[in-house]
Structures are given as structure tokens and as C-alpha cells.
Structure 1
Amino acid sequence: MHQRRVREIAQDSAGIGLRNEHIPRLLQQPKRQDIDFLELAPDNWMNIGGAKKEYLADIRKKYPLICHSLSLSIGDVCPLNETYINDIRRFLDEYRIDIYSDHLCFSRDPQGYFYDLLPIPTFADALPYLTQRIDRVQNLLGRQLVLENISSYHRYTGEIPEAEFWGELLQRSGCGMLLDINNVYVNAFNHNFDALDYIRSIPGNSIVYYHIAGHLEDEEFRLDTHGMPVLEDVMKLAKQTFYLHGARPLLLERDNNVPPLDDLCEELAGIRASIA
């Protein structure tokens, strides 16, 4: 069974993703007071050596790390990639990382990976299958698995509401939730449900940390992009989320159109001040 660990990242902390373009500044500067932690994709850092490994070791001396991976594919119909999961565990142990997250999605079929994260249909009869797979992953990791709600753009006949599906999954599996506030907002608009009702229905003790990000708005849909500043309506939803569930570590995502480090940290500070 997975272990519960004392975590070094405070509940009211805020961080950003570790991006290659920011590494030189992070290495040159003393620990920044406006960054409490960094989130990285272990897929890009595992089984490395040389200078890149030294960079990560130096960064870890300054900042706590969270791992947010891309390749677990918990919702596919293939056998779990236990070699990958064991590599993840060794990486987490080496860098003393307590929080490990991935996405509630599938990203491969028997022919290989898609290079995309596809939402799984929220059919009630998928819950026992997912619960079994989550339990196996948690046992291999020796840690709680944390899963993120992702954006989606299609619904199938027979799906139960997304929030109801999440509530059942969290209760049955004991996994944690990475609550992406922006993705709730995007899905609420695209699928015509109330975002705040969704967030209110999530059991607060299952929420491990939050994501917040920007998205693209069209008259007919919202597109999750992680490529622009957080919009005011998402900020409002974030404030309501903190009011309902309390503080959790908050990660500002920016995966493209990445601004200079100082600019990104300034946006993070503004978000933190607004929510506080």
C-alpha cells in the first residue's frame, strides 16, 4: 500500500513549471523568494547523465520539486508500463519528491504513444477498471498517485457527469486529485455545466494541489492552451475554489509562449496576491 509522507511544500505555496529557457537564470540566482516549488515532467529528466543531471541536482538544492508526468496513460486498455513506473519511482526517490501526478487520460494504444493526452469517457462501468490500475500504480510507487482533470471537447452518450465520476473514483481508489481550475472552467463552458458546482462537489480532502493557466476564447468554445496569461474569469473561479476548499500548492502553467522568468514570476505573484 502507498505511504503517506510528510511533505516539504506548504499548503499556501505557489510555483511554476521548470522550463529549459529558465534553467540558466535559476542556476545563476540564489533561491528566489517568489518561487516556492518547481514542477517538472520526469519523462524529460529520467535516466539522464552529464550536465543535465548536474543542473537538476543543483536546482533541487534550492527548490522542492513536484513531478507531473505525461506517459502513465492510466485510462488505456494496455497492460501498465511497469518499467516506466519503476523508473518513475527511482527518480522520485533520488530527488526526494513526494508528490507525483499524471492525467486522467489515455495516451497510447497497442501500437504506441499518441503524443497527446486524450480524455477517457466517464462511463460508470469504467470505474472498477481504473480503480484496479490506480491501486497497482500506487503500490509500485510507494506513494499516492495524483491525477489531473483534463480539458475535453466531446461527450459520449451514456457518460455520467464528470464531477460525479471524479467523486466516485477518488472514493474508490484513494488517489489524490490535481484540480486544474482552468480545465474546469473550459469544460464547463464547452459542455454547459456549472463550474462552481463541479468544484463544490469534489471532496476537499482529496485535492493535493491546484493548476491554473490561460486559455483561448472563441464565441462557441474555449480551448485550453497554456500559452497566455490567466483570464479574469478563471481567477474568479480560483478565488472561489480557495474559499471552498482552502489553500493548496498552486502551480501556474505555461507550456508555450513562455515569457522571461521575471515576467512569469510577476504574474505568479499577482495571482497569489489576488487569491489571498
Structure 2
Amino acid sequence: MRSIINTSKGIGLRAEHIDELCTSSKHKDIDFLELAPENWMSIGGQRRESLKQIAEHYPLIAHGLTLSIGDGQPLNIEFIQQVARFLNEFDIDMYSDHLSMSRDKQGYLYDLLPIPRRKENISYLVDRIQCVQDIIQRPLILENISYYHDYGDEMPEGDFFSEIINRSDCKLLLDINNIYVNSHNQSYCPYEMLRALPSDSIAYYHIAGHLKDDNNFLLDTHGKSVQEEVVELAKYTFEVHGCKPLLLERDNNLPPLNELIEELCTIHGNILNQQHGLNKTSEGDYYA
């Protein structure tokens, strides 16, 4: 089976594509698949067998949705232990979730809410991250989320992430579309945020599409093709941090598998061509 290397490219494992992935030969342009462990950990029967079949052909990355590392509730140790068993069963080296909170005392909120980026919160987050890492016996990979409000008097996002990474030895899932969306909506410079991040700690990249509403506000929908502006920011990201595995996210309005793979190959090829000396757009064109 192929291993995941810095030039690898992949897509999310979605229910609409499972039958085709199971019945077709291994696709030469899919180097890995990403799945949400919450959707698979308690599943048996034919669906479980399908996942085992897929795992024989494609390396898997686990991208969680409900860790809620930044909330004020005790960590769900039983859930984390279940994740660890799932990772071991399917030989998954990389487990990511979001630097966010998605629970309160009432339970799960089914949304990813930003954490106040304040220095006094970092020790709390580091302790929780290290607890998770002790259980899963792997670095925890945390993604920068898209957000639509801030708390005021916060550290720059890049500095906040860098200090957490340095103190916890966790890794970063760098979502390029989220940086573009946030920089547009919050009017900050994406280049400064990107340059503040430690390259060696970036495990892999996400890229996705977004929607612009009538008020020129961007929504991170994962429901359409990736816009050229995001591809251009991805080229800059690769230039600054180097080549890392790239995952094309598409969660709704899914096209046929071959169309999704074609988009992935086009984006990946354009970015790698940039690495070989094509002219890049000026920094001022990347954000509003």
C-alpha cells in the first residue's frame, strides 16, 4: 500500500463514493482518504467490511469533529480511548480535530466555535492536548477553524497556534481556505498569519470552496469548487512552508468521484508548478 508523503494528495471518504471505491481498482490519483472516526467507530456489518476493504488499498487519515479540545468541560476520556482503538485497528497514524469548542454543560452544540485566543488560556489547552496525546500515543493534529466573530483583545492567530504547538508538541492541520475566509471577513493579512507558523509542525493541508453572500461575507461551506483566490494562497503557503500532503474537502453538493479527483489533480498540479518557479501573485491580491 502507498504511504503518505509530502507530495501526496487525497479526498474525504464520503458515503456517496464508498461503493465505487470498493468495486473499482485502486485509483492512481488518490494517495490517501480522510474520514471522520465518529462516523465509523461504532459501525459494524457491511459498512465496516467496506471500510476494511478500502483500508487495504488507501492509507487513511482520521479527522475528528467532536473532541472539543477548548471547551470548559472535562475531556471525554471514554471517547478518546475509543478513538485510540479505532486508530490502532485501521493502522491510522494521523488523527486531527479542530482547535475549537463544540460542547457546553448541555452537551454537543454541533458547531465549531472559536476559542478566545488569550495567553492565559494556553496552559489549559496544552494540558488537555497532552492528555489526549498520552491516550492516543500519537501527536494530536489541530486545525485552524473558520470563525465569524472574535472576542476582542486576542493574540494573533498564528502566534497563538505557534505557542500551543511549541509547548504541547502537537501538530497543525493548516486549512488554507479557512485562512482566506477569516482574513477576508476579519480584515487581517493572511501572509502574516502564515509566516508566524512553524513549518516543521504542519502535518498536512486542507483546501476547500466557500460561498460569498450578498454582503460580501464569506462562508466556509465546503459545497463548491475551490476558488482561484484560495489556490493562489495555497501556492504562497507551499512556498513558505514547503510541500505537505494536500486534502481537498467537499462535504455537500458532491460531484461524481471522477470529477472530484480531476479537481484535486488540477489544484495539486497548479500548486506544484508554482514550486518550480512560476510567478506568484502579489501579496495584496490575497485578501480584502
TM-score, normalised to structure 2, is: 0.92
The aligned length equals 270
Residue by residue over 1:96-151, the C-alpha shift from the partner in whole angstroms, topping out at 9 and shown as x without a partner, is 00000000011111111011111111111110000000000000110000000000
Pairwise CA distance, 1:222: 1.1
Partner of 1:112: 107
1:73-112 equivalence runs, <5 A: 73-112=68-107
**Cα distance in 2 for residues equivalent to 1:91 and 1:193:** 39
Partner of 1:199: 194
Pairwise CA distance, 1:188: 0.6
Q: Which amino acid aligns with 1:13?
A: S
Could you say what secondary structure the match of 1:147 adopts?
A: strand
Alignment pair present for 1:230 and 2:223: no
Pairwise CA distance, 1:8: 2.7
Q: Please, what is the CA RMSD of the aligned residues?
A: 1.0
Kept in 1: contact 2:9–2:264 (CA 8 A): yes
**Cα distance in 2 for residues equivalent to 1:155 and 1:85:** 29
Could you say what secondary structure the match of 1:98 adopts?
A: coil
- Percent of aligned pairs with the same residue? 56
Could you say what secondary structure the match of 1:108 adopts?
A: strand
TM-score, normalised to structure 1, is: 0.96
The ranges of structure 1 where at least 4 consecutive aligned residues each deviate by more than 4 angstroms after the TM superposition are none
Partner of 1:137: 132
**Cα distance in 1 for residues equivalent to 2:107 and 2:151:** 24
**Cα distance in 1 for residues equivalent to 2:253 and 2:191:** 29
Partner of 1:264: 260
Residue by residue over 1:145-179, the C-alpha shift from the partner in whole angstroms, topping out at 9 and shown as x without a partner, is 00000001111122111111111111111100000
Pairwise CA distance, 1:270: 0.3
**Cα distance in 1 for residues equivalent to 2:42 and 2:224:** 32
- Which of residues 150, 153, 156 in structure 1 aligns to 2:151? 156
Unaligned runs of 5+ in 2: 273-288
- Which of residues 242, 247, 258 in structure 2 aligns to 1:246? 242
**Cα distance in 1 for residues equivalent to 2:191 and 2:219:** 19
Kept in 1: contact 2:156–2:193 (CA 8 A): no
Pairwise CA distance, 1:47: 2.2
Partner of 1:14: 9
Kept in 1: contact 2:62–2:95 (CA 8 A): yes
Unaligned runs of 5+ in 1: 1-6
Residue by residue over 1:66-123, the C-alpha shift from the partner in whole angstroms, topping out at 9 and shown as x without a partner, is 0001110000011100000000000000000000000001111111101111111111
- Which of residues 119, 122, 126 in structure 1 aligns to 2:117? 122
